[in-house]
Structure 1
């Protein structure tokens, strides 16, 4: 189960508010957070100013499908298989609605809390193809949702007078969501009976981001590492220590200002999810996951304090979700 938690500069640079109004004083302009590509070029501060508060509503739609052929048996000759051949088809849809609050402690430090609400709908079909009967197909539908894993974050901008700007971040994810390890498994289909809404473990994610303004565009890059804390779970009455694989995240891209109100961004992100361990050892079936995706976003400023950001993300590798759509509406007070 993967959850990209990377602090994303493409959305940061093209988010909450637009350029300060011409009638505002320089002090008022300085108090506003740099939100658009043009803002970053004109004003070095990219975090929430001291004493200011902002709220962001977001909606994420994720679609992923896969088709697999499994051979349970052995091969006598290259063309002769003794055993059972199964074909499985799965379609997974996840919708996450989030509410995020940010507060500026100082002009170079902000804190954040995010409350996600997750809905999942999985449709899985498994059929032994050598049996030749359609009624042998095993269908499983999984629907459900609830509160996800609440996240806390703090960010600090290290420099203001020179470029590129550097921003450090530390994100902590809780285990408030419904853990997949606490849900019963259907023995007939080997599928969970209910939809999980969280990973089941706490994690911590330090990260570093670079912002380089070059009129009329902004270059950005980021890197982070997600460390998952170990935890004990019960399997059929027996306790086991689970150590989820940590995640290495890298990203880079370009933001471009079309005019005062409209900005575009394009970015690339990569995640390497390391192998998980059970009771201190790596299972033979565990594998290293490589997740690559390409994203394109557009931001339009509705008012000096409100904007809307829409971005689409396409998966480039087998384990990455096929398509993701993100809609964000930040409000600055």
Structure 2
């Protein structure tokens, strides 16, 4: 009788254990299902790798509450040649007159420090302070009307550039069906040396033959635009593992400003400068090869409208040849040295006459 009673109690305890196990399993599955349903639309729920964070930071889509200080250096080179003929063509084959071939080589090196701080997961503030060093080499062939004559001059200038401050606001966060949408707004202050009253010098060649004037060069070079500028635009970023696709569009309005002198000669001529506005767009992609290294390539284009000048007491006139189309193809790489420091490099190749022949950029952002 005692044996039978203990045997009848064992199945009852086993059933209670199995019932408890089933209830726990069902609860776990229910919780997991609810979590999956809640996070179904979230794309970057987990902390991204260092290489992905570098791409997001460069595209201003990484919002954090840490201070980021990003020193950088960029170099651009451009070379332009111009043929000037002063005379006439005889017998449709022989040119009689003066021939001048002008070549300008421009080297621009910019040292800047960019400081960014994420106020929240949607808002980021930025301040950029640049120092610009420019060197231009002017060369002309045709001194004294002879095709073998050569005159050259080099002008260099280094000074503070135009300081800018801006903000980036995440309008929409990335989901499975839409990209990150970030709105940006910035103001550029005319803290650099403006180009509107720079004097010019004329080189005198062939002194023994009467002093022919053949090459005119500026006495110094500008490091800024000289006017206030207001920019706004949108950037879009979508994660398509293992790639990141991004695009941006923007508009810059330059505010017209009066100057006491806008003439390059010794005579003082006051007037107003209305620098042409510009429209920019770009798109590209980046690939995270591993946890710390990524590659990117992109296309950028900027169209600048004509500049208008109004001399005091006169009518507004457009500056011929002041509009520009600058397009370039860029490719770069980022490498994360640590969780807070990275190296960002890029190279751009100019695709139009108004764009630099090539540009090089090196940056090292680190977070505090």
Q: Would you call these one fold, judging by a TM-score over 0.5?
A: yes
Structure 2 residue 326 is the aligned partner of structure 1 residue 299:
no
Q: Choose the corresponding residue for 2:163, options 147, 150, 153.
A: 150
Q: Is the 8 A contact 2:49 2:292 kept in 1?
A: no
Q: CA deviation at 1:77?
A: 6.8
Q: Whole-Å Cα distance in 2 between the matches of residues 207 and 174 of structure 1?
A: 18
Q: Is the 8 A contact 2:274 2:307 kept in 1?
A: yes
Q: Whole-Å Cα distance in 2 between the matches of residues 250 and 35 of structure 1?
A: 27
Please tell me the root mean square deviation across aligned C-alpha atoms, in Å: 2.5
Q: Whole-Å Cα distance in 2 between the matches of residues 207 and 53 of structure 1?
A: 23
Structure 2 residue 364 is the aligned partner of structure 1 residue 329:
yes
How many pairs does the alignment contain? 299
Q: Whole-Å Cα distance in 1 between the matches of residues 46 and 269 of structure 2?
A: 57
Residue 110 of structure 2 corresponds to which residue in structure 1? Answer: 96
SS of structure 1 residue aligned to 2:270: strand
Q: Whole-Å Cα distance in 1 between the matches of residues 226 and 346 of structure 2?
A: 28
Residue 23 of structure 2 corresponds to which residue in structure 1? Answer: none
Residue 207 to residue 121, structure 1, CA distance change in 2 (3 Å): same
Q: Whole-Å Cα distance in 1 between the matches of residues 188 and 174 of structure 2?
A: 33
Which of these two proteins has the greater Rg computed from alpha carbons? Answer: 2
SS of structure 1 residue aligned to 2:196: helix
Q: Whole-Å Cα distance in 2 between the matches of residues 38 and 104 of structure 1?
A: 14
Q: Choose the corresponding residue for 1:194, options 208, 213, 220.
A: 220
Q: Is the 8 A contact 2:282 2:298 kept in 1?
A: yes
Q: TM-score normalised to the size of structure 2?
A: 0.75
What is the 5 A alignment of 1:184-263?
184-188=199-203, 189-233=215-259, 234=261, 235=263, 236-263=267-294
Residue 62 to residue 82, structure 1, CA distance change in 2 (3 Å): same
Q: Whole-Å Cα distance in 2 between the matches of residues 145 and 31 of structure 1?
A: 46
Residue 77 to residue 293, structure 1, CA distance change in 2 (3 Å): farther
Which whole-Å deviations, capped at 9, do the CAs of 1:181-240 have from their partners, x for residues lacking one?
A: 242222443322112211111111111101011111011000111111112231221112
Structure 2 residue 82 is the aligned partner of structure 1 residue 68:
yes
Residue 267 of structure 1 corresponds to which residue in structure 2? Answer: 298
Q: TM-score normalised to the size of structure 1?
A: 0.82
Residue 170 of structure 1 corresponds to which residue in structure 2? Answer: 185
Which whole-Å deviations, capped at 9, do the CAs of 1:215-269 have from their partners, x for residues lacking one?
A: 1101100011111111223122111211112111110000111000100000001
Q: CA deviation at 1:137?
A: 3.0
Residue 232 to residue 80, structure 1, CA distance change in 2 (3 Å): farther
SS of structure 2 residue aligned to 1:308: strand
Q: Whole-Å Cα distance in 2 between the matches of residues 76 and 247 of structure 1?
A: 45
Q: Whole-Å Cα distance in 1 between the matches of residues 104 and 152 of structure 2?
A: 10
Q: What stretches of structure 1 of length at least 5 have no aligned partner? A: 1-28
